[in-house]
Amino acid sequence: MPAATDTGLRAFVRALPKVELHVHLVGSASVETVLELARRHPEAGVPAERADLEEFFTFRDFDHFLKVYWAVQSMLTDRHDIHTLVTGLAADLAAQNARYAEVTVTPYNHLLDGMPGDELLEGLATGRAEAAARHGVDLAWCFDIPGEKGVRAGRETLVFALRERPDGLVSFGLGGPEIGVGRAQFAPFFTAAREAGLRSVPHAGETSGPATIWSAVHDLGAERIGHGTSCASDPRLLDHLAAHGIALEVCPTSNVRTRQVESVAAHPIRRMLDHGLVVTLNTDDPPMFGATLNGEYLAVAGTLGLRYAEIAQLAGNAVRASFLGDGRKAELLAEIDQTLAGEREK
């Protein structure tokens, strides 16, 4: 196999079929999508001209990111807005050669903003159907609790998830700030969600230490950890995650943007890989952080000097750690193998 030239590496990453396991629906809104929403909702005061919007969208700091995020959230009022958001995400995923994504939706925030639950569900359903038919991207949903809104949000998210149980709902999550928002208080909701067959995928160890990850594992039965960055400072936790195959949804650009790490080079991803953890690469809130899925693979491959087989291994990890059925997993893994074999024959 030839050494990875820049062009060769780009083509290889592009050609790999990929799976995205950590992307927030609201945070996935691209400039294109937000232009459409801003024109539909002039009262929101979001720039409706491309140049102005691009400037507004450019990442400055975390506070500005929150401003952009909540501005997008404020324009989501009905099924059409949700549909626009979902199909916009599907088009962006297709452009990254992503075939499947588990997308985090925060129903409590939409309901709190006054959107009827049926509107949310209808927009998700029609958007998901169009994503598959028009873009060839299969979408699944993770309904997550906005942790900062407390146990009430936990209860209502659970009730909504189990009562509605929309097609494609596979998992139950927990997001928002970690410091001062203990994971354990949400344990009863995760227990009930798991008993109903939803998989547990809380954020933990993104903005706080390894104790939060331990709590996510012990109290919430986490099967995957959102971020998990701080696990690297706890050898016992590294052992535990490796032994139990608890995958990490690593989002390198997001971690740099939110200043949890200095740079991709300073990210503990090397340590995670060396310890045998199931590392997957993801984008979190891609356009708002200036990230793309292919970009994450390129950044990590370039920084760590990964070989093609190791890059393919990362893509395979995301397939294996996903909640796809075994048949679909096997198909995607075979395609990844073929892409790698094609590279070897060059």
At residue 249, what are phi and psi to the nearest 5 degrees?
A: -95, 90
Count CB neighbours of 64 within 10 A.
14
Minimum distance of Zn ion from residue 346's CB (angstroms) = 37
Chain residue at closest Cβ approach to Zn ion: 284
Pair 70, 10: CB distance under 8 Å: no
The one-letter code for the residue type at 67 is K
DSSP 284: B
At residue 167, what are phi and psi to the nearest 5 degrees?
A: -55, 135
Stretch touching Zn ion by CB under 5 A, among 42-50, 211-219, 270-278, 283-291? 283-291
Catalytic residue from among 206, 223, 249, 296: 206
Query: DSSP 3-state assignment of 275?
Result: coil
Active site residue 206: yes
Residue 92 lies near Zn ion (rule: CB under 5 A): no
From residue 84, give the alpha-carbon distance in Å to each of 19, 26, 75, 133, 188: 21, 11, 11, 15, 34
Tell me how many residues contact Zn ion (CB under 5 A): 1
Minimum distance of Zn ion from residue 303's CB (angstroms) = 21
Minimum distance of Zn ion from residue 33's CB (angstroms) = 18
At residue 102, what are phi and psi to the nearest 5 degrees?
A: -105, 110
Instruction: Using the minimum distance from each CB to Zn ion, give the nearer residue, 30 or 229.
Output: 229
* The only residue of 138, 284, 296, 343 in contact with Zn ion, by rule CB under 5 A: 284
Stretch touching Zn ion by CB under 5 A, among 147-155, 240-248, 278-286, 318-326? 278-286
Residue 178 lies near Zn ion (rule: CB under 5 A): no
Minimum distance of Zn ion from residue 144's CB (angstroms) = 8
Catalytic residues: 206
Interface residues with Zn ion (CB under 5 A)?
Answer: 284
